[in-house]
Amino acid sequence: MNFEDLQKNWQSQPVNALTDTTLLKKDLQSKWQKHQRKLMLTNIFLTLSFIVVFAVVGWVYFAYRSDFGWQFSASIGTMYLLLIIYLMVSWRGYAFKKEYLDVSSTDYINYQLLKLSWQRKTITTWSLVYAVLLWLIIMMYELEVTARGTLMFKATTIAITSAYIFGTTIWSRFTKQKKQLAKLDEMIAELNNINKAFN
């Protein structure tokens, strides 16, 4: 047995693939249109949601700023900061959706590795940043509304809220995010293996 015989046999195998381009194009067109429609609806939904949230938060600030102290303004400012960071992280993630498949495999793999490393960073770093900012927003709001309460009451509300926010963050880190990270690490390792073999 030699390799040339195997090659000959391999090339003579029956090909059960759809080659009618009229039928193919119909399928491809419909798949493309569905993909575009989904993308467009997601974009519209995200843009509208952000506009609404920005507008509502702005309205709340201008309508009630005279009734509250500095904590209120700081809370609103932190909320805007959270929204802007979320928007930037989403945009960066969205930019990774644009893929070029007609480049060499090593270039393609390097791009995929960059994308996966960004997804990893979103889970490990940015989700923690969101949690801290959210905690700050709620803390400042609570300080404002419990201003007239006793020290014990203030401490209890802060403790309960903090325990809830950081508890769910830590719980998610060791359950859902752990699984996501394991999957990402597996993909990164596989791509690194392929890249190593190609170089």
Contact residues toward another protein (CB under 8 A) are: 1-3, 6-7, 9-13, 15-19, 21, 24-25, 27-29, 31-33, 36, 100-109, 112, 186-187, 190-191, 193-194, 197-199
Q: CA–CA separation, 175 vs 170, rounded Å? A: 9
Backbone φ, ψ for residue 69 (5° rounding): -90, -160
In whole angstroms, the minimum distance from the beta carbon of 48 to another protein comes to: 24
H or E stretch covering 65:
none
In whole angstroms, the minimum distance from the beta carbon of 35 to another protein comes to: 9
| Cβ nearer to another protein, comparing 60 with 181 | 181
Q: CA–CA separation, 150 vs 165, rounded Å? A: 23
| Cβ nearer to another protein, comparing 57 with 187 | 187
CB neighbours of residue 137 within 10 Å: 19
| DSSP-assigned letters across all residues of 88-136 | HHHHHHHHTT---TTS-HHHHHHHHHHHHHHHHHIIIIIHHHHHHHHHH
In whole angstroms, the minimum distance from the beta carbon of 76 to another protein comes to: 41
| Cβ nearer to another protein, comparing 76 with 109 | 109
In whole angstroms, the minimum distance from the beta carbon of 123 to another protein comes to: 17
In whole angstroms, the minimum distance from the beta carbon of 109 to another protein comes to: 7
Total residue length of the chain: 199
Contacts of 85 (CB under 8 A, 6+ apart): 126, 129, 130, 133
| Cβ nearer to another protein, comparing 51 with 103 | 103
| Cβ nearer to another protein, comparing 34 with 178 | 34
